[in-house]
Amino acid sequence: MPEIFEASVRHVDGVSVIDLKGEMNAVAEQALTAAYHQASRDSSKSVLLNFRETTYINSTGIALIVAILAQARKMRQRVLVCGLGEHYRHIFQITRLADFMSLHDDEASAVAEATSAA
Amino acid sequence: MSGNGEREMTTPSDELRDPVARDAANWAPLVQKLQASGVSGDAPNLVDGRRLVGPLQGFGQMWQKTYWVRLSGSDATPAEIMKVWRARFPEFWPRGNRFYPPLAGLEPGEVALFSVSTGPMRLSSGVLVLYADDESFTFMTPQGHMLAAWVTFSAFMEGGSPVAQAQVLMRAQDPIMEISLFLGAQKLEDRQWVHVLSFLARHFGVEAIPETRVTCVDPRRNWSQAKNVWHNAGIRSSIYTLGAPVRWIRAAIRR
């Protein structure tokens, strides 16, 4: 039984953190888009995608992240990522997503980079 | 497993961090430059040595184009549809456009080549099979392809019927291709996938007209990527075609 995908938004030191939970596939589109719009409403300069509780990402899930990156570019927001394991870091490199977002092991280092750059 | 035979507890986050995750075999390995070895047929190979280019690296506006067809009345499962689509992919292409699958099949990491007719000229390029599982597979384009794109083919159940879908997330790779898209190449591309889905539906005994939804994800252009024109497939395909007599003469001399 596939897991339900959830995306929730919180704010840490002026950074919008989107916590992603469950399987990221086609079903995730609505929740992810809604979370991104919520995060953007607060006019944050940086959005952090936290994959710590994401259990699976397929190619459709990766395409959703690309769409988020494109929207962030329009809004002149920076997108950072944390909580990816070795396997998905590798996927972010294959797909060249890593060219456009900085990858961090944990939330603290991502927030530190986002706030120092602000 | 632990040494005493007890199964270790894994949390979702452990699984994501597992270097041998459950979907590891579904993804292509990391490649710096493509190598199209083992492709069936006499395909012009203009992709060797090229880097992969996703929608973020392209030049033009970013579009998401979704084409789908409902296989009403078919009792095929999504997995059965995808098995046929993946194994017989070239058979559903329009006449005159050729797809040369890798000999190993459309497996993650394999490179396929194609040659398509775009009015007066032919364009040749290829794709990497980026991802494949039982219910979907995804292509990613190399430098020189007309599009910087991911194309995901999938099947799923909706309202009790199987649905087959092709979804393209794309930008034109360079300014020349961006102009071409506006001058009609967009329509040619739409026609291509509508044809493929119609023929796939027909294979399952369903006559249906595919539907299309087009969304502009990012209307801005990536001017920093205008340099991609150096790899333009149209220019390189033309050079390849014009060079055919020279290749024939060389081959004859070698014999």
- pLDDT over 90 (residue A76): no
Q: Is B156 on the interface with A (CB under 8 A)?
A: yes
User: Which chain A residues contact residue B140 at CB under 8 A?
Assistant: 95
Distance CA(A113)–CA(A115), nearest Å, equals 6
Q: Nearest to residue B136, comparing CAs of A93, A33, A30, A27?
A: A27
Span B71-97, mean pLDDT?
94
User: Which chain A residues contact residue B13 at CB under 8 A?
Assistant: 52-53, 83
Which fold is adopted by the domain B41-218? Alpha-D-Glucose-1,6-Bisphosphate; Chain A, domain 4 (3.30.530)
- How much is the pLDDT for B2? 35
User: Which chain B residues contact residue A97 at CB under 8 A?
Assistant: 54, 56
Q: CB under 8 Å to B58, separation ≥6 — which residues? A: B147, B148, B149, B170, B171, B172, B173, B222, B225, B228
Distance CA(B89)–CA(B83), nearest Å, equals 10
A1 found inside a domain: no
User: Which chain B residues contact residue A91 at CB under 8 A?
Assistant: 27
User: B61 in helix, strand or coil?
Assistant: coil
A47 found inside a domain: yes
The CA distance from B156 to the nearest CA of chain A, in Å, is 10
Q: Is B136 on the interface with A (CB under 8 A)?
A: yes
- How much is the pLDDT for B7? 37
- pLDDT over 90 (residue B13): no
Assign A49 a pLDDT band (cuts: 50, 70, 90). very high
Assign A27 a pLDDT band (cuts: 50, 70, 90). confident
> Which residues of A make CB contacts under 8 Å with B?
3, 21-22, 26, 51-60, 62-63, 66-67, 69-71, 73-74, 83-88, 90-91, 93-97, 99-100
- How much is the pLDDT for B12? 45
User: What token pair was written down for B136?
Assistant: 């979907």
- pLDDT over 50 (residue B238): yes
User: Which chain B residues contact residue A70 at CB under 8 A?
Assistant: 55-56, 62, 217-218
User: Which chain A residues contact residue B30 at CB under 8 A?
Assistant: 90, 93-94
With pLDDT > 90 as the criterion, what percentage of chain B qualifies? 43
Most trustworthy range by pLDDT among B50-59, B67-76, B112-121, B217-226: B67-76
Could A58 and B23 be called an inter-chain contact, meaning their C-beta atoms sit closer than 8 Å?
Answer: yes
Span A30-42, mean pLDDT?
90
Q: Is B16 on the interface with A (CB under 8 A)?
A: yes
Classify strands B161-172 and B147-158 as parallel, antiparallel or unpaired: antiparallel
- How much is the pLDDT for B23? 80
With pLDDT > 70 as the criterion, what percentage of chain B qualifies? 82
Could B27 and A21 be called an inter-chain contact, meaning their C-beta atoms sit closer than 8 Å?
Answer: no
- pLDDT over 70 (residue B104): yes
Residue of B nearest to A64 (CA): B169
Helix pair angle (B78-87, B186-203), 10° resolution: 120
Assign B135 a pLDDT band (cuts: 50, 70, 90). confident
CB pairs under 8 A between A and B: 110
Could B150 and A99 be called an inter-chain contact, meaning their C-beta atoms sit closer than 8 Å?
Answer: no
The CA distance from A52 to the nearest CA of chain B, in Å, is 6
- How much is the pLDDT for B5? 38
A73 found inside a domain: yes
Poorest-confidence range of A13-22, B125-134, B191-200, B214-223? B214-223
- pLDDT over 50 (residue A46): yes
CB-CB: which of B56, B131, B156 is closest to A69? B56
What average pLDDT is seen over chain B?
83
- pLDDT over 70 (residue B3): no
- pLDDT over 80 (residue B231): no
CB-CB: which of B15, B16, B136 is closest to A58? B136
Distance CA(B133)–CA(B123), nearest Å, equals 29
Q: Is A99 left (phi over 0), alpha (psi -120 to 50) or beta?
A: alpha
- pLDDT over 70 (residue B17): no
Assign B36 a pLDDT band (cuts: 50, 70, 90). confident
- How much is the pLDDT for A4? 85
A51 found inside a domain: yes
User: Which chain A residues contact residue B163 at CB under 8 A?
Assistant: none
Q: Print the domain residue range for A14.
A: 6-117
Structural domains of chain A, count: 1
| Domain residue limits, chain B | 41-218
- What CATH number is associated with residue A83? 3.30.750.24
- pLDDT over 50 (residue B8): no
Q: Which of B236 and B5 is assigned the larger pLDDT?
A: B236
